[in-house]
Amino acid sequence: MEVQRTLVLVKPDGVQRGLSGAILARLEARGLKLVGLKLLQMDRELAARHYAEHQGKPFYKGLVKFITSAPIVAAVLEGPRAVEAVRSAMGKTNPTEAAPGTIRGDLALEMGRNLIHGSDSPESAAREVALFFKASELVAWRRDADPWIIEKP
């Protein structure tokens, strides 16, 4: 199984609502391994680079205003097919369409307040991880529980 790294952001609504720990706990409990973690407030430049694919869309200005409005928690998670594992745990972009049991489906109501970002492909993940973390801030570590989570660690 392909081991991947993916970028997760607990967005400003998640931090302001005190849900950073609850959101990360769900991903950790699933078996994903933390290899990077920080609290920061995004500036407009970082927001523009992170959301470059959405520039020009009707929701773009509001999205940048929102994502820069308060601190976020940035995390890099590692595991087999981590990109897809995080995306499925997040649920659909529009929380009212996100399945119960997903982070958005359980904890959010609106598209513009959907709590979490997760990279949508391994290529996006590589680009996005590099936006938020220096190589020296990522920690490669051996987790003792790995054989109980991953068949061939």
Residues that bind ligand IDP (CB under 6 A): 54, 59, 63, 93, 111-112, 114, 117, 120
Q: Which is nearer to Mg ion, 113 or 143 (CB)?
A: 113
Q: CA-to-CA distance for 96 and 106, rounded, in angstroms?
A: 9
Q: Which is nearer to ligand IDP, 6 or 114 (CB)?
A: 114
Single-letter code of the amino acid located at 76? V
Site for Mg ion in 99-128 (CB under 5 A): 120
Q: Which one from 5, 11, 33, 117 is the annotated catalytic residue?
A: 117
Is 54 annotated as catalytic? no
User: Whole-number minimum distance, CB 73 to ligand IDP, in Å?
Assistant: 15
User: Whole-number minimum distance, CB 124 to Mg ion, in Å?
Assistant: 8
The alpha-carbon radius of gyration of the chain (Å, integer) is: 15
- HSE-CB at 149 with a 13 A cutoff on CA atoms is 17
Q: CA-to-CA distance for 65 and 10, rounded, in angstroms?
A: 16
